[in-house]
Amino acid sequence: MKTIGLLGGTGWSSTIQYYTLLNQLVHARLGGHHSAKILLKSIDYEALWSSYGNDQKASHLLEEELLGLIALKPDCIIICCNTLHKYYDMIKSRLNSSIPVMHAVDLVSEHAKEHEYRKLLLLATKFTMGDGFFAKKLQNAGIEVVIPTQAERNILAGIHDELMVNNVTPKAREYCRMLILQHNDLDAVVLGCTEYPLVIDETNSVLPIIDPVRLQTASAVNYALSK
């Protein structure tokens, strides 16, 4: 079994989900007492979080953290934050690494095309929805992307702050349910923030869910168990 490297702590509440899913997937495939071989580099997220929008600073900080993980020689890498994929795309050529990275946005695009989804609701952090890098990648693949209004994004930002410290409330789940229900004519909803699976699942979404966390972990386990 190959070793999966995680760049986590971005935030820690969702990194827990990555760790859990990887082990569940490996156990489902191999049975017995098997678990995933994982290297977790959990960072202090504050510096990166506060640098969003400053592309030079954020990409430099991410580069430093990824080089530290690469030095530990995992066989593949998951970046446990959708927003950081913007900065990964900016610095990947400088890393001089052949270690495959399970790219969240690329996997979402592939999944959408595979299922012939043409129009998606993108729920993400306020920065990601406003910046447009996630939506642009999907649009380049011929997929129409709908994002919430500014007022809705402000409410989602408050929910995200709660989720970052693992505070999951019925009020947040209900708000997400109603928001998705307003877009029930779309093909699917993308959980473009790794914390959103904490409040959005099949029980409160009328739309099929595209969850990058599940796509990344499934891809990593497939790679880790390949010969």
Question: What are the tens digits of pLDDT across the range 86-121?
Answer: 999 999 999 999 999 999 999 999 999 999 999 999
Q: Cα separation of 186 and 121, whole Å?
A: 7
Question: What are the tens digits of pLDDT across the range 142-189?
Answer: 999 999 999 999 999 999 999 999 999 999 999 999 999 999 999 999
Average pLDDT (122-145) is 93
Written as one letter, the residue type at 139 is Q
Task: Judge contact between 83 and 127, C-beta under 8 A.
Answer: yes
Tokens of 179: 């928001």
pLDDT at residue 20, rounded to an integer: 97
Own/partner contacts of 104-110, CB < 8 Å, gap of 24 or more, are 104/79, 104/212, 104/215, 104/216, 105/133, 105/134, 105/137, 105/138, 105/212, 106/137, 107/212, 107/215, 107/216, 107/219, 108/138, 108/190, 108/192, 108/210, 108/212, 108/215, 109/137, 109/138, 109/141, 109/143
Q: Cα separation of 119 and 87, whole Å?
A: 25
Written as one letter, the residue type at 178 is M
Q: In what order do the strands lie in the sheet with 188-192?
A: 144-146, 119-124, 188-192, 209-210
* 105-211 and 4-103+214-224 share a CATH fold: yes
Q: Please determine, for residue 227, whether its predicted confidence score (pLDDT) is greater than 90.
A: no
Contacts of 183 (CB under 8 A, 6+ apart): 121, 146, 189, 207
Domain boundaries of the chain, sorted by first residue: 4-103+214-224, 105-211
The residue count for the chain: 227
Tell me the CATH architecture of domain 105-211. 3-Layer(aba) Sandwich (3.40)
Question: What are the tens digits of pLDDT across the range 19-62?
Answer: 999 999 999 999 999 999 999 999 999 999 999 989 999 999 99
Q: Cα separation of 135 and 122, whole Å?
A: 8
Q: What is the CATH number of domain 4-103+214-224?
A: 3.40.50.1860
Element (H or E) spanning 4, and its range?
strand 4-8
Q: What is the pTM of this model?
A: 0.95
